[in-house]
Amino acid sequence: MKEISVSFLKEGNYKEYIRQINETDADYIHFDVMDGKFVQTKNLPLKDLTSLLKISTKKNDVHLMVENPNKYIETLSLYNIEYITIHIEINNFEKYLDKIINYGIKAGIAISPETNIEKVYPYLTKAKEVLIMGVHPGKSGQEFLDIAEDKIIKLKKYLNNNNIDVKIAIDGGVNDQVLDKIKEADIIVSASYILNDFHNIQKLKEL
């Protein structure tokens, strides 16, 4: 059965979204944090992020789309965080990956559509999750990119062949038309597909 992480990147009352997600069978709440530098959009500054974390009763899954995750990691270490995921494309990536681990938090590696999946292979012994982006990071409502399915399949094969225990997550573009393309992922991250109909959580779990 899949694990489900619910995101809420679309406009609205974030606190109300979290309260609604708290009442579902979702496994995680997925927080997208953007600095306006790594991606053009700016979202969830630390003050807002921490206020939302306080009302979450789920495991918390934080995706940092930021150039410098240093201050985020230090602050988030004070909260109940299951995963902190950073992008392999940022400078000093491995230094920040190690910092997450040193705080006792599970480290995730996010990979954008234009980056080859092989880039993550050297770091898989440190990571607990690889977050494959099904869309370009930073904007909700994009269509799923088929390259993500290829990455899921290739990474799954590599993990199995090398007996590495890392979860594969897929984020972006989830809808009824792409379910067959994401069925090999372990964790499915979705915003509007779930927020528009919470019954879709069970549909995703049973893929």
CA atoms 78, 101, 151, 34: torsion sign? positive
Residues linked to residue 107 through DSSP beta bridges, in sequence order? 84
Q: Where do the H-state alpha helices sit in 3-146?
A: 14-22, 46-53, 70-76, 93-102
Q: Name the residues annotated as catalytic.
A: 32, 171
**Cα separation values, 162 from 34, 111, 155, 183, 187, Å:** 33, 20, 11, 21, 20
Answer yes or no: are the C-beta atoms of 23 and 198 closer than 8 Å. Answer: no
C-alpha to C-alpha distance for 178 and 134, rounded to whole angstroms = 10
Nearest to 200 by CA among 61, 141, 189: 189
Residues linked to residue 31 through DSSP beta bridges, in sequence order? 62
